[in-house]
Copies of this chain bind each other. A is one copy, B any other.
Amino acid sequence: MKFSGIKGTRDFYPEDMALRNWLTETWRRVSVRNGFQEYDGPIFEHLELYTAKSGEEIAGQLFHLTDRGGRQLAIRPEMTPTLARMVGARAQSLPRPVKWFSVPRLCRAERPQKGRLREFFQWNVDIVGVEDILADAESILVAVDFLREVGLTPRECVVRINSRRLVAAMLADLKVPGPQLEKAYALLDKSDKIPRDALAGQWSETFGSSVPFSAVEPLIEVRGLGHLGELIRSGGGHWAAAAQELPVLEELFEKLSYFGITEYCDFDMSVVRGLAYYTGIVYEIFDRGRTHRAAGGGGRYDNLLAALGGPAMPGVGFGMGDVVIADMLREAGRLPAFRPHLDVYVIAADADLEPRSLDLAARLRRGGWSAEFSYRTQSVGKALRAASERGAARAVIIGQETREQGLVTVKDLASGRQVRRAWDEFLADPMAPVGEGG
């Protein structure tokens, strides 16, 4: 071909589409049973909707376009700004809580690499209008309900949970100046990715002697929420701000235990998330072996709606892309087999019978059965082979006996058994068992 698809995008041939549909339908089913309603927005929005509050990570990855009126638009790189815009526009009339999900197509203008494409689908699950930590816990429940649904065990994957407010409080207790918080987050984020002395070096470069690395090192050493509690409570006044935030995180883990999903949930001090709008609990979904990027992540964003010019409404939610989770499932051997299915293959024994075979095929389809026929009359043997290749459950042969007695020959392609049935009887129940010697 003269033309190819664009690098970092995918062509979904039927077998790829079957996987995508299976994943999407599983996301939908899990969302609905958790009480969420589906929504969607346009594929592009005003550019400033993204540059306003999502921070540098997103702004650098936008596909821009200009419409005829000269307006600056961008293909959506994430869904949360659209969600905030839509909820904000109907904040007065929407029943609360707003529990919404979506499976948008998103585009990011970045260099394609493993697990990261320029176009992908992302499950988005959000609860807007609820401050209670129970909403944070419920959003995590939805993610875990999906992981369980697709057969991923707590030995294979984990939701790593942290609190930005807690991290901010601990850094404040360490006298890290407010404007430097983002830099400290970025270094904490690296703590499980680079060697300790490299991290110490980068920390010293950034903070000099004002906040020595030795002071922050206990944070990095934290293993589990119990350990963190001991650290803060045994530190006396040293962790005064952190002591205020700790109970929120403890309450979250309590709710997670009521939901019965503790084994999927770890406290992890290094999770901070890249998007600037998170204000509270943040979390990321990983494979335990850490051979993949995060399969998803989310958190609380209590200031986003107001920042976009809407009413002050708290929110919490997560996104999960289709690329990494499919890789994880494939690796774990948990992708279903996708085989094309066909109910009935209709065969005309000779060309003169075509009117009847087309009539029958159209009637089967109208009745809700998937039915196929050949565009040219073939020998019955060849047509039966075509029916098998197409994955048909039944072949039905229109022949001399149809002309003379109104009978059709029904063949069960799995057992090889066949039977003659009256035209109407067959149409009434095309999948009726084809018995021995019938």
A residues with a Cβ closer than 8 A to B are 1-6, 9-14, 17-18, 20-21, 29, 32-35, 37-46, 48-49, 52, 63-65, 67-68, 71, 73, 75, 82, 85-86, 88-90, 95, 97, 100, 105, 107, 109, 119, 130, 132, 134-135, 141, 145, 148, 255, 258-261, 308-310, 340, 342-343, 354-355, 358-359, 362-366, 368-372, 375-376, 389
Contacts A261-B362, A358-B258, A365-B145 known; A13 to B39 CB distance under 8 Å?
yes
Contacts A21-B38, A37-B14, A49-B3 known; A358 to B135 CB distance under 8 Å?
no
What are the 8 A-B residue pairs with the smallest beta carbon separation, nearest first?
A2-B309, A9-B42, A14-B37, A258-B358, A12-B40, A1-B88, A35-B372, A259-B362
C-alpha gap A335/B1 in the complex (Å) = 42
Contacts A35-B370, A359-B259 known; A85 to B1 CB distance under 8 Å?
yes
C-alpha gap A65/B47 in the complex (Å) = 14
Residues of chain B within 8 A (CB-CB) of A389 are 95
Residues of chain B within 8 A (CB-CB) of A65 are 63-65, 75
Residue pairs across A and B with Cβ atoms less than 8 A apart, 7 shown, are: A3-B45, A4-B85, A5-B42, A6-B73, A13-B90, A135-B375, A259-B359
**Contacting A365 at CB < 8 Å: which of B34, B37, B52, B85?**
B34
Q: How far is the CB of A234 from chain B (nearest CB, A)?
A: 29
Is A375 touching B134 in the complex (CB atoms < 8 A)? Answer: yes
**Shortest Cβ distance from A364 into B: residue:** B33
**Shortest Cβ distance from A134 into B: residue:** B375
Q: Knowing that A13-B39, A21-B38, A65-B75 are A-B contacts, what are 11 other residue pairs whose CB atoms are under 8 Å apart, sorted by A's residue number?
A: A3-B45, A3-B309, A6-B42, A12-B39, A20-B40, A33-B365, A43-B105, A135-B375, A145-B362, A258-B358, A259-B359
**Contacting A1 at CB < 8 Å: which of B5, B310, B355, B365?**
B310
Contacts A109-B67, A359-B259, A375-B97 known; A3 to B370 CB distance under 8 Å?
no
Instruction: Give this chain's copy count.
Output: 2
Is B49 touching A258 in the complex (CB atoms < 8 A)? Answer: no
Query: Which of A82, A89, A109, A369 has the largest count of B CB atoms less than 10 A from its CB?
Result: A89
Residues of chain B within 8 A (CB-CB) of A10 are 42
Is A39 touching B17 in the complex (CB atoms < 8 A)? Answer: yes
Query: Which of A3, A37, A368 has the largest count of B CB atoms less than 10 A from its CB?
Result: A3
Is B6 touching A46 in the complex (CB atoms < 8 A)? Answer: yes
**Contacting A3 at CB < 8 Å: which of B67, B308, B340, B355?**
B308
**Contacting A85 at CB < 8 Å: which of B3, B14, B44?**
B3
Query: Which of A1, A67, A365 has the largest count of B CB atoms less than 10 A from its CB?
Result: A1
**Shortest Cβ distance from A354 into B: residue:** B258
Q: How far is the CB of A394 from chain B (nearest CB, A)?
A: 14
Residues of chain B within 8 A (CB-CB) of A134 are 358, 375
C-alpha gap A67/B63 in the complex (Å) = 7
Residues of chain B within 8 A (CB-CB) of A370 are 32-35
Q: How far is the CB of A286 from chain B (nearest CB, A)?
A: 22
Residues of chain B within 8 A (CB-CB) of A67 are 6, 63, 109
Q: How far is the CB of A18 from chain B (nearest CB, A)?
A: 8
Q: How far is the CB of A137 from chain B (nearest CB, A)?
A: 8
C-alpha gap A389/B259 in the complex (Å) = 25
Residues of chain B within 8 A (CB-CB) of A86 are 5, 11, 13
Q: How far is the CB of A262 from chain B (nearest CB, A)?
A: 12
**Contacting A308 at CB < 8 Å: which of B2, B82, B354, B369?**
B2
Q: How far is the CB of A381 from chain B (nearest CB, A)?
A: 19
Residues of chain B within 8 A (CB-CB) of A9 are 41-44
**Shortest Cβ distance from A141 into B: residue:** B362
**Contacting A371 at CB < 8 Å: which of B33, B88, B258, B364?**
B33
C-alpha gap A354/B12 in the complex (Å) = 45
**Shortest Cβ distance from A254 into B: residue:** B355
Residues of chain B within 8 A (CB-CB) of A13 are 39, 86, 90
C-alpha gap A5/B87 in the complex (Å) = 12
**Contacting A107 at CB < 8 Å: which of B12, B18, B43, B255?**
B43
